[in-house]
Every structure is written in C-alpha cells, then in structure tokens.
Structure 1
Amino acid sequence: MLLYKLRRRLFALFLDANPLGLLVVALAYVFLSYLLLVLAGEQDLTSPDVFIYWLVVTASTVGYGDYSPSTFSGRLITSFFVIPVGLSLFAVCVGKVGFYISEILTKGKKGLRMSRASNHCIIIGWNGPRTMRLINLLRCEQNSRDERILLVNDQAMDNPLPAAVDYVQVDGFTDPNTMVRANLGEASRIIIDTPLDDVTLSTALFCHRQNENAHITVYFKDEAHEGLLKSYCPSVEVVPSVSIEMLARASLDPGSASLHQCLLDPAVDASQFSMVYSAPDPTAFGELITRMRTRHQAIAIAVKKADADKLDINPPDSTQIIPGDIVYYIADNRIAGL
C-alpha cells in the first residue's frame, strides 16, 4: 500500500513537472541507481557498456534477461527502486512526448496557433452557412489573388474548413492579447460580419486602429451604425442590406435578382470585377470600353476617380481615365492588366 501511494505521488509530481524538472529527476534516478548498484557489489551491471542498456530495458519492463542482478541487495534495489521508479518515470516521459505531439497537431485546428501569414484576407465572425458561403465565394479567386484566408472566431470550435482556410480562436474581437494571433497588421483585406451590430462596430474600430492600410469591409444589419463608423473610419467600406431594393427591382424588372446574383458570384460565366487603371497614359472611357471588349470580351460599366468618393456608373465616353482610377467591369475572369 505504501509503495502504491509512493508511485501515485511520484507520478503526480512528474505530471506537473516541466521538461527541465523531468530531466533533473531522470539524471538523479540514473545516478542513484548506479550508486546503489555499486554499493550492492553489482560489478557486471555497473560496467560502462552495460549499465545504461540494462537500466533502460529494466525500467521499461522489457526485461530481455541477458543481464540481471546477482546479489541479494541488487535484487532488492532492482525490485523496490529501479523498476517502480523507472517505470513511472518512463511512462511519464512517454506521456509527455505524446501530449506535446498531440498539442502541436491540434493547436492549429482549435485556432490557438499564431498566424504568420501576410497580405492575407481575414474574416472576423462566424454565422454558420452564411460564413461558409462567404468563404467559398472568396476561394473562387484565391488562386488568382495568391492569398491565404484566415477565419477569426470568438467561440470554441474547430476549424470548419481545415483544408481551405487558416483558423484563429480569440477571447474577443477587440482583445489585443488574443487578436494578435490573426496578425492584423499584415493583412491586406479584413471582412467583419459578426452576429451583433455592436460587436461589428467595435471590431471595425479596433481593426482600423491596428491596420489603417487594409481594405476593411463591414456588414451591418441596421444601417444606422454606418454613419457612426464612417465618422471615425471614413475609409471603411460598409456593405448595405439591399433586400428591399432588390425586391422592388425584381418586381419591376423580372429576373433582376438572378442577374445581380450572377454578377456577384465568380463561379458563374461572367461576374463583376474591378481593377486599378495602371497604364502610363490617360484614356477616354469610350476608348477603354472598346479596348476591353476587343482584347478581353469584357464590358466596362463604371469608374471611381482617385479623388472621388462615389462611383460614376456608365459615364460619358469622353470621361478621362487616369492612372489610379478604379474601373469596374463585367468579364468571365479577372483581368490582370490593360
């Protein structure tokens, strides 16, 4: 009974010990085992080429039998110290190694690993099928953009798409101690879509403070929050809910809902894209339409001047497009450049 309690106590101490503590205990165990066997007169077992081999085989209870204590004292030491203590130490060491390997393998799946991604797209918030749909839409262009997608969630869950996206779990979307895992400062795009508008607002303010250069997109259920956010972060793009407008348009012009859905889904034949006009020389919008139609089978539909806040949809053909302006177009695929 006493031996059992001793083994339980040692086992508990070993479980709580750190790797350095285990190393110290293991070295002490080896030294004491050697010293006791020397005192017991076990010359064959304490020779340099035999001792470590015999100790490992005996402590792990493999026991090949090729070496064994020859004295009564040696047998007592082996029975009541070498085997019980060595077996406990061996089991704990194997358990610790297995625990660390399991922790490394599952840490990323549970979102507890620090992200080292850069120029990545961060999705903040989890809304079940809605977020899954968002991820799938982004993945349609993931190869062309050559960027990684990182999902950030404040709920305890495993990565829903481990083969497609990275995953980070945080204590709160404005908690700097855990949000650092998402590497916000290196992100190129941040999408914020949480179940609560108040959380979305505070998260947008936090993310803008962490990375003012990232393109931040926010969705509110109640558009009343847009003005407050814009007053502090004018560069943040707020996506409005257009369900009422779409309902009216589909009623007046049947098929409009399907048309707009197709234009927003890159998986269909033609979708709406945008690009920054980077050609060295300015051009007229009418000339740009002809060039895009001839070279890429694309249709330019709008332009946003570099110094303007609003889009100019279907502008006059004479409108000058200069480097830095954003051109919106419909095409089968994203155009790399004009």
Structure 2
Amino acid sequence: MKFVITFWDKYAAKYLEQIARLNVIVLILIYLTITFIGYKICGETSLISDVHHFIYYMVVTASTTGYGDAAPTTPQGEIFTAVWVIPFALGLFGLSIGKGAFFLSQILYRRYRGKHMLTLKNHIVILGYSKTRTAHLVRMLQREEKGRREIVLVSVELEENPFDDSIHFISADSFTEEADLARANIREASCIVVDLDLDDATLTVALFASTLNKKADLVANFVDEVKCRILTQHIPNAECISGLGTELLAKSVIDSGSSFVHSELVSAHKGQTQYSIKVPNDASSFALADVFMSFKVNHEATVIAIRKAREVNVTINAKLDALVNPGDQLFYIADERVNFNDWPSK
C-alpha cells in the first residue's frame, strides 16, 4: 500500500494533473485516434469500418450503457478493449461530465457571483461595501425609490451578493478598472455613490467614476473635510457627506433637540422626511408663493429650499416672491413623496 501511495505522489499524480489541464476535446481526439489505430491493428474492421458506427460504439462504451450490438470479435481486440478502451473511456467520460457541469455552474452562478453584465439605465450605483453602513443605506434607498430606480452594489471585497435578488451585485477586481465598472453599466447610471473605508480611496474612485459618467449625480462619503473640498474643486456639483456629526453635536448643544429633528428628516422609516422634485421644463417661471400653498393644502408638504438649475448652492427658507424657473429643484418635507402636477403653465 505504501508503494502505491509513493508511486502516485511521486510519478502518477504529476502527469495526471498535466493531462487534466489539457482541453477535454483535445484529449478525446487523441484517445479516439489511438483507439481507431489500435482496433485497426487488432483487425476489428467491423467497429471502425463506418465513422458513425465507431462514434456510436465509443459513446455506448464510455457511458457503460453496453447494448451488446457492437463488440470486439478478436482476442487481441478484446484485450485492447479491456486494457485501453474501457478504462480510458470511463475516465474521459467522467472528465467531460465534470468539465461540462463546472462550465454550466459558472454560467448559472455568474449573476450570483457578480460576474455578469448589466444593461440597466437610470439606476443607482453604490461603489464600496461597509458592514456598518451599506445595509442601512440600501434599505433606505429601497423604501424611498420603491422600484423607481434599480440599485447596483459594486464591491471588491465580496464574492457573493450580500442582499436578495432585488439588489444587483457586481464583483470587481478594482474600482478603477473601467471594464469592471462597465459591467455595472455605470455610464447609464443616474446616481453614483462612493462610500469606501479610506478617504484617499474614496477621492480617487470618485474622480475616476466622474470621468466615466459626467451626467450622473455624484455622492461621496468622507471623514476628512479636506478631501471633500478637493473633490468639489474638481467636480463642483458633487455632493460630499463629511463632518456632519460635529456640526450636529454643536447644534444640539445650542438648540436642544436638533439631533432629533435631523434624524427625522433623513429617516426613511417614520415621520416627516425630506424629498425633492424638479420643476418640469414645460412649466412657466413662477413665484414660490404660487405653489407653496398648493403643496401644503393638497399634499401636507412644506417647501423648505430651492436649488437653481446648474447651480450647486441651495437657498433655504426662500422668500415667497423668489422666482422659480423650469429645471429648478424644490426641496420639501412630507410624509411620503409627492406627485405634484399643479405647476403654472406657459
């Protein structure tokens, strides 16, 4: 027994591993060629006289079906079949089934492992996965979007989708590899969220993502305010989430209860929440007062800010006579997102 193990480890295993690396089709062709020549030498003309019959015989033999309608008739043919044909046929048959099953499983599980190509449009792409933040972020987005936009998570750490099938998943080798981000169809995304553990990586990936899609809303999470300023210098319309914890702490000291108000405004689970809506391009310019009461009376919503089209800054608590133009963005507080259609027409 020891001799067999030593022989296997020292000689057989090495050569069998090299054979296994070869293409299965090449191995089958080599095997069929040797078998054909062997049967010809043994005088088994009935087995090799017709190509279709020869292939049929080999498949039946390899699959161990053995109908009995074809068999070697000479002693040397029987020995050749027992020593070469059957053992190697069984091995190749098992190898072919194994390779085929592996190939099929790779195709079937490509989506689950994030190796597939997405064709989504107007979707949200999240670059980076954090155990403490991403799950909560995804739940909030799902509740807010309600199927309006699909969500795609791109991760370099994970090999499988941490969420259910409602969240698309792409496994990437690098966030700065264009081919990986192309599988998330990042060029057609309407929003890109960059949330990595290191600010330097967040800055690099955010800048790279913006070169692939300049039209998408870019949101990046930083700890260091300096990195946030660097990003906005290069991409003025990028939204940086940074340092809000300290500011909110100070505000709560000055005005008690501020943290509770802030929590309610950003919560997607209960209470009044902040939303936004874009003024349609076919609407006419109007004063804020023209829609302010309509929001409140018809939808129990309160307009709190205006953001002019193609501008970064937001005007909080704008005057009622403030001019609102098509393409501007109104921010409001409401229980649910408002489907507002009472715009002044041209």
TM-score range (shorter-chain normalised) is 0.7 to 0.9
Question: How far apart are 1:252 and its partner, in Å?
Answer: 4.3
Residue 182 of structure 1: aligned partner: 184
> In 2, Cα distance between the equivalents of 1:6 and 1:76?
26
Question: How far apart are 1:44 and its partner, in Å?
Answer: 5.5
Question: How far apart are 1:306 and its partner, in Å?
Answer: 2.1
Question: How far apart are 1:253 and its partner, in Å?
Answer: 4.0
Residue 276 of structure 2: aligned partner: 274
Could you tell me which of 56, 61, 75 is aligned with 1:58? 61
Question: How far apart are 1:112 and its partner, in Å?
Answer: 3.0
Matched, 1:286 2:281: no
Moved more, 130-139 or 9-18: 9-18
Q: Is the 8 A contact 2:302 2:333 kept in 1?
A: yes
Question: How far apart are 1:123 and its partner, in Å?
Answer: 0.9
Residue 344 of structure 2: aligned partner: none
- SS for the counterpart of 2:103 is helix
Could you tell me which of 191, 194, 197 is aligned with 2:193? 191
Residue 22 of structure 2: aligned partner: 17
The runs of 5 or more residues in structure 1 that have no matched partner are none
Q: Is the 8 A contact 1:10 1:88 kept in 2?
A: no
Alpha-carbon spacing, 1:311–1:157, altered in 2? closer, same or farther (3 Å): same
- SS for the counterpart of 1:141 is helix
Moved more, 99-108 or 27-36: 27-36
Question: How far apart are 1:258 and its partner, in Å?
Answer: 2.6
Could you tell me which of 297, 301, 315 is aligned with 1:298? 301
Matched, 1:141 2:144: yes
> In 2, Cα distance between the equivalents of 1:210 and 1:50?
58
Alpha-carbon spacing, 1:64–1:258, altered in 2? closer, same or farther (3 Å): farther
Give runs of aligned pairs for residues 248-267 of structure 1, distance below 5 A. Answer: 248-267=250-269
Query: Could you say what the CA RMSD is over the residues aligned between the two structures, in angstroms?
Result: 2.9
Question: How far apart are 1:231 and its partner, in Å?
Answer: 1.7
> In 2, Cα distance between the equivalents of 1:264 and 1:103?
41
TM-score of the pair, normalised by structure 1: 0.86
> In 2, Cα distance between the equivalents of 1:168 and 1:144?
19
Residue 71 of structure 2: aligned partner: 68
> In 1, Cα distance between the equivalents of 2:127 and 2:169?
10
> In 2, Cα distance between the equivalents of 1:179 and 1:89?
39
Question: How far apart are 1:316 and its partner, in Å?
Answer: 1.5
Question: How far apart are 1:66 and its partner, in Å?
Answer: 5.4
Question: How far apart are 1:178 and its partner, in Å?
Answer: 3.6
- SS for the counterpart of 2:84 is helix
Alpha-carbon spacing, 1:309–1:264, altered in 2? closer, same or farther (3 Å): same
Question: How far apart are 1:142 and its partner, in Å?
Answer: 3.4
Alpha-carbon spacing, 1:168–1:301, altered in 2? closer, same or farther (3 Å): same
Matched, 1:240 2:245: no
Q: Is the 8 A contact 2:237 2:311 kept in 1?
A: no
> In 2, Cα distance between the equivalents of 1:106 and 1:77?
42
Which residue identity does 1:330 align to in structure 2?
A: I
- Alignment deviations for residues 19-44 of structure 1 (CA, whole Å, 9 cap, x no partner): xxx33442453454345435544465
Q: Is the 8 A contact 1:120 1:186 kept in 2?
A: yes
The runs of 5 or more residues in structure 2 that have no matched partner are 342-346
Q: Percent of aligned pairs with the same residue?
A: 33
Residue 311 of structure 1: aligned partner: 314
> In 1, Cα distance between the equivalents of 2:73 and 2:14?
30
Which residue identity does 2:196 align to in structure 1?
A: T
Question: How far apart are 1:287 and its partner, in Å?
Answer: 2.1
**Number of residue pairs the alignment of both structures matches:** 333
Alpha-carbon spacing, 1:236–1:307, altered in 2? closer, same or farther (3 Å): closer
Alpha-carbon spacing, 1:84–1:8, altered in 2? closer, same or farther (3 Å): farther
- Alignment deviations for residues 268-307 of structure 1 (CA, whole Å, 9 cap, x no partner): 2431110111152222212211111233222211111225
> In 2, Cα distance between the equivalents of 1:230 and 1:193?
16
Q: Is the 8 A contact 1:36 1:77 kept in 2?
A: yes
Question: How far apart are 1:93 and its partner, in Å?
Answer: 0.9
Question: How far apart are 1:198 and its partner, in Å?
Answer: 0.8
Could you tell me which of 211, 219, 222 is aligned with 1:220? 222
Question: How far apart are 1:6 and its partner, in Å?
Answer: 10
- SS for the counterpart of 2:277 is strand
Alpha-carbon spacing, 1:143–1:287, altered in 2? closer, same or farther (3 Å): same
- SS for the counterpart of 2:109 is helix
Question: How far apart are 1:325 and its partner, in Å?
Answer: 1.0
Question: How far apart are 1:12 and its partner, in Å?
Answer: 3.5
Matched, 1:98 2:101: yes
Question: How far apart are 1:227 and its partner, in Å?
Answer: 2.0
TM-score of the pair, normalised by structure 2: 0.84
Which residue identity does 2:302 align to in structure 1?
A: I
